Structure 1
Amino acid sequence: MKLTDIQIKAIKSTEKTIRLWDGEGLYLEIRPPCSKGWRFKYRFNGKEKRISLGAYPKVSLKEARKRLEEAKRVLADDKDPSAERQSRKRVKAFNAANTFEKVARQWWETQSPGWKDRHADDVLHNFEVDIFPFIGQRPIGDIDAPELLAVLQRVVDRGAVETARRELGNCRRVFGYALATGRANRNPGADLEGVLPPKPKTKHFAAFTKPEDVGRLVKLIDEYWGTFVVCSAFKLAPLFFVRPGELRSAKWAEIDFEAREWQYLSTKTNIDHIVPLANQAITILQALQRVTGHGIYLFPNARDKQRPMSSGSITAALRAIGITKEEHTWHGFRAMGRTILTEVCHYPPEVVELQLTHCVRDPMGRAYNRTTFLPERKKMMQSWADYLDKLKGEV
């Protein structure tokens, strides 16, 4: 006779363990004083076995019968329900210990000691912002190519194609690490080769590259009347021809007046770089130091001194002196310096490229370090500053 909920609820206590059978091996075991639990009694390979199907009332009579049917289906496949349950528990524990995020962080910890701090921070930041929120908690062995592509497509859709391509490369390395350590059976990142949009074409920034135009530009810069901080950055931009973000984020701790050098870590190439300081640059920096030298940045933000000036400051100054974006941009100072130093002043291209923090290799294929050609670069940077003064005087 089948059990009923009324019958089960009527039992309030018992002095000894009793069993109420529902049929087909399912029974409710009640232990003193009134602990109730579902059990399934079955035989497998000639041996009597039992497994728990849950505690009552959390597992109702209806749910217990449903779990009984599931166990019987396992038996019908000639499998032991108890062994299958243990196997599922092991898989669940394995998956919980080997989510994409956990494996990725392990991979990062093994690799990052050999990286520059900035690069290590960037890799982890990209994972935390673009990848972990979407597949971080997924078992790494369960992630397939379409799922990974959907995550990377979000990055592509916001216009960061190159970031998406870098993140795909790092995901491939994480899956490769998972393969090598027995946490995955395939690398879905490898299946996405050639799927993401191609690397964006290099954007060429408008720049003055004719001496007469450069002379007019530096004269206009010299006559510009903005805030003292912006004026100083504006005057140093053509002298240094560094990347905009590197100039506006320059720190006083990086300026060595005795060595006549600005030493910093390039944000683009992640390598240490030296900018020799010409006499003209020293004069500008010494005046600026009296105004902002007590803080962190050479060019602090007007609203928050703990942050550098905004990226639009020099651009706004260029527009204020009547230079359009089709004529010259802040980034255009780099093209201006490279073109005139090589084509007009006839400096060796490798010396100029090194000063631009571009990766230059010797005949053996080895990359030059930051001090390569430093005496030549110091001479070049002073000559460049003098040349700009000469052009300005000819306008």
Structure 2
Amino acid sequence: MAEVTLSKVRWLLDKAYPKIGTRPIAQITAHEVLVVLRAVEATGRYESARRMRSVLGRVFRYAVATARAECDPTSDLRGALTAPKSKHLAAITTPHRAGELMRAIERYTGHAITLFALKLSAHLFVRPGELRQAEWAEFDFDRSVWNIRLMSGNTVNAALRALGFGQEEMTAHGFRAMAATLLNETGRFNPDAIERQLAHMENNGVRRAHTRGEYWNERVALMQFWSDELGRLRDGARVLKPNFGGQKSFVSGQVFCR
């Protein structure tokens, strides 16, 4: 388990210890666990409460497996917690604005690594953290395949702000929604292939391994199409400034779109 994940687990367990940490695990009731979870909910941390129930459930199930307890009381609390409201991350989902975004990225004058990150975010629409902490060992250049780990980061968001795209319009994660929306709108690809490319898969490890190769050929074609489409959108508008040989004109330029 990654250190960042372990620190989150420790933080959640530390919240529970003051109330039930000294109790024999076999004697802890569902009501006692609920009191702990409600205390977290009272601070508005609904997602943290949900995760705490999951973490405590793993502790209780381990206790059952090692004959330290008879049951997992968290299983009786399914549906008892307030469901966190889903948060829609800002994303550009129209061809016109996607083209403007790609042209803005071409003009980015910050650090070269950040420029590459912006371009890869658009073309590959991976999770921001997966991109930020990518390692060379993950790339198979002969097969043009990137084997990804789970990571996190915020560099691309800062670059988007510097380019003038506010957090209410576009986020690093929004590249995924942009790709999903525009690819589905083309009608060229099986929606399930798009979902597989977005890594929206089963939590079950066996199922995930089975589905890794699903729609692979279509996903390869999809990714090539998407990169070509981003290039087309980027080049879809040019500002032409005509030269009238010194004559004054009220027309300073013309925008052509194809």
Indicate the RMSD between aligned Cα atoms, in angstroms.
3.0
Alignment correspondent of 1:144: 29
TM-score where L is the length of structure 1: 0.51
Cα gap change, 1:336 to 1:383, in 2 (>3 Å): same
- Partner SS state of residue 147, structure 2: strand
Which residues of 2 match residues 312-351 of structure 1 at below 5 A?
Answer: 312-344=154-186, 346-351=188-193
1:187 to partner: Cα distance: 4.9
CA distance in 1, matches of 2:32, 2:173: 38
1:166 to partner: Cα distance: 3.7
* Structure 1 unpaired stretches of 5+: 1-116, 268-309, 361-365
Alignment correspondent of 1:359: 201
Identity %: 42
Alignment correspondent of 1:250: 134
- Partner SS state of residue 384, structure 1: helix
Is 1:129 the equivalent of 2:11? yes
CA contact (8 A) 2:37 2:53 kept: yes
Q: Which amino acid aligns with 2:162?
A: A
Cα gap change, 1:186 to 1:262, in 2 (>3 Å): closer
CA contact (8 A) 2:128 2:154 kept: no
CA contact (8 A) 2:93 2:182 kept: yes
1:141 to partner: Cα distance: 2.7
Tell me: higher relative CO, structure 1 or 2? Use CA pairs within 8 A at least 6 residues apart. 2
Cα gap change, 1:192 to 1:387, in 2 (>3 Å): closer
Cα gap change, 1:317 to 1:357, in 2 (>3 Å): same
Alignment correspondent of 1:265: 149
CA distance in 2, matches of 1:232, 1:187: 48
Alignment correspondent of 1:189: 74
1:355 to partner: Cα distance: 0.6
Task: Provide Cα deviations, 1:210-237, integer angstroms capped at 9, x if missing partner.
Answer: 1111111100011111111111101111
Cα gap change, 1:186 to 1:393, in 2 (>3 Å): closer
- Partner SS state of residue 189, structure 2: coil
Task: Provide Cα deviations, 1:264-317, integer angstroms capped at 9, x if missing partner.
Answer: 1346xxxxxxxxxxxxxxxxxxxxxxxxxxxxxxxxxxxxxxxxxx83322222
1:256 to partner: Cα distance: 1.6
1:358 to partner: Cα distance: 0.8
Q: Which amino acid aligns with 1:347?
A: F
1:263 to partner: Cα distance: 0.9
Q: Which amino acid aligns with 1:352?
A: I
CA distance in 2, matches of 1:377, 1:328: 25
CA distance in 1, matches of 2:103, 2:88: 24
Alignment correspondent of 1:376: 218
CA distance in 2, matches of 1:254, 1:176: 34
* Structure 2 unpaired stretches of 5+: 238-258
Is 1:167 the equivalent of 2:52? yes
Which residues of 2 match residues 86-165 of structure 1 at below 5 A?
Answer: 122=5, 127-131=9-13, 133-134=17-18, 135-157=20-42, 159-165=44-50
CA distance in 1, matches of 2:157, 2:62: 45
Q: How many residues align?
A: 229
CA contact (8 A) 2:98 2:233 kept: yes
CA contact (8 A) 1:131 1:151 kept: no
TM-score where L is the length of structure 2: 0.75
1:338 to partner: Cα distance: 0.8
Alignment correspondent of 1:220: 104
